[in-house]
Structure formats: structure tokens, C-alpha cells
Amino acid sequence: MGKAVIIACDFSSREELFGFLDKLGEYKPFLKVGMELYYKEGPEMVRELKRRGYKIFLDLKLHDIPNTVYKAMRNLGSLGVDMTNVHASGGIKMMSEAKRGLLEGSKGEAPILIAVTQLTSTDADMLKNELLIGETLENTVRTYALNAKKAGLDGVVCSPLEAPIIKELDLVSVTPGIRLAGDSKDDQKRISTPALAKELGSTYIVVGRSITGAEDVKAAYLRCKKEFED
């Protein structure tokens, strides 16, 4: 699977999104569309982006009973998205049903299916005291990643710092928490530059504000691409 920069399109409307895409000129990058934009603009916007030639990672993090996830994924597969995801905590059966739904819905090449192991908003205290899970965060991440592999998924979302473990398991890693050197960390805690993510073996980096918040978005995108993909 080829290395690529994915731009996190955390915009509140399609107008804002298309205004941003205009600034990238002739470039048609891989875009991450998340809940905020999708729940406002719906599947039609995704179809339009596909018609315009963009690759789409639809980041909706599905988590429900296997049959519901299977049927939902059949619909997402028919949208022609290139990558999507589920929560690994839904279990192996849910993940394998997600994969089956995507395969059926896409009728051709199945989109890349990624599992969320633990959200970065979950910490050791929450794991122990709210979720009543006695294992360490790291053990749950490794086991959830192995479950994703058993279910036939392609990989996981993780920090670039965890990418080497994921590579060992022969899985794809999709890594957010990326900043160009000199940029603000914002609310991210453990960050990495595109160059470091490459060195650590990330397959895809997800970059939001370092590109969307840059004065020259095209130059920032090209810098990420050069550091990570060359």
C-alpha cells in the first residue's frame, strides 16, 4: 500500500471545504472527511468529491452490532470511498462483517478498512476507572490490532510513535498527530513531523491544521508530501 499524505478536512460546511480545495490548485490529495462534515453535507458531497477526482478516507468510526455495521458498510462501499474505519472494541465479528459489507457494496476494489484501537482521549485512568479494563493501554492497543488483523482488516489508526509495533504485525498504520517543524502543537500531545513519521514506518499520515491553517496551504501540503512520500 503506497505511502500518502491525507489532509484532515475538519470544516463545518461544503463551502468552506471547496474554498480550501481551490487553494490547492491542480493538486487532488487524499482527504479525510469526518463526522462533522459528513453529518452536515451527507453522501452527496462525498460523491461530488469522488467525481472531482479526490481519494476519500471517510472517518465515521462505526461501532454497533455486526448486522447493522454490515449493512451500513454496504452503503459506504457503494459511495466509492477509498478508506473507512470502525472501532476495534466492537469485536472481531463486527469487524469482519464490516469488511464483508464493504466488499459487497463496493463491487470492485474494496476500500481500505482501518480499526480505531483506543482513542487518544482515553487515558490509563479512564481505562481503569470508567471502562473497568485492568490491562495497560498498550496491551489493549496490541490486542485490538491483532483482532483487526484476524478480522481481515488492513490496519489501524495510531500515533506515529506506535507505527513500528503495527509494522511488526504487518498492518497498515494511519497516523494523525503530525506537525511541520515550527508549527503549534495545538491540542495534540504526542506529535511527529512527516519526516519522523516516515522514519518510524507510518503508511499514511493524517495532517490537519499544519496544512489547513497554513498561510500558504499549497506550500504546506507540498512540504508534507516531500518529507513523507519522497
Note whether 76 and 59 are within 8 A (CB): no
In one-letter notation, the amino acid at residue 191 is: I
What minimum distance in Å lies between the beta carbon of 93 and ligand C5P?
24
Q: What is the dihedral of CA 204, 85, 60, 89, to 10 degrees?
A: -120
Considering only the stretches 99-107, 122-130, 163-171, 200-208, report the one whose residues sit in contact with ligand C5P under the rule CB under 6 A: 200-208
Report the C-alpha gap between 82 and 61 in whole angstroms.
Answer: 15
What minimum distance in Å lies between the beta carbon of 137 and ligand C5P?
12
CB nearer to ligand C5P: pick between 103 and 206: 206
Using CB under 6 A as the binding rule, the residues of this chain from 18 to 47 that contact ligand C5P are 34
- Nearest Cα neighbor of 98 from 145, 203, 90, 43 is 90
Report the C-alpha gap between 35 and 66 in whole angstroms.
Answer: 21
Pick one of 68, 89, 120, 122: the residue that binds ligand C5P (CB under 6 A).
Answer: 120
CB nearer to ligand C5P: pick between 102 and 220: 220
How far is CA 120 from each of CA 43, 141, 191, rounded to the nearest angstrom?
A: 27, 11, 12
What minimum distance in Å lies between the beta carbon of 59 and ligand C5P?
7
How many residues contact ligand C5P, by CB under 6 A?
16
Pick one of 87, 92, 208, 228: the residue that binds ligand C5P (CB under 6 A).
Answer: 208
Q: Does 194 bind ligand C5P (CB under 6 A)?
A: no
Pick one of 197, 206, 220, 224: the residue that binds ligand C5P (CB under 6 A).
Answer: 206
CA atoms within 13 A on the CB side of 170: 3
CA 8 to chain centre: 9
Q: Which of 61, 93, 167, 218 is catalytic?
A: 61
For the chain, the residue count is 230
Q: Mask 134-173, x = binds ligand C5P (CB under 6 A)?
A: -----------------------x----------------
Using CB under 6 A as the binding rule, the residues of this chain from 81 to 100 that contact ligand C5P are none
Q: If residue 34 lies in a helix (H) or strand (E), which one and from where to where?
A: strand 30-34
Known active-site residue 61: yes
What minimum distance in Å lies between the beta carbon of 10 and ligand C5P?
5
- Nearest Cα neighbor of 94 from 166, 173, 152, 174 is 152
How far is CA 167 from each of CA 35, 95, 149, 170, rounded to the nearest angstrom?
A: 28, 20, 12, 5
| Footprint on this chain of ligand C5P (rule: CB under 6 A) | 8, 10, 34, 119-120, 157, 176-178, 186, 188, 206-210
Catalytic residues: 61
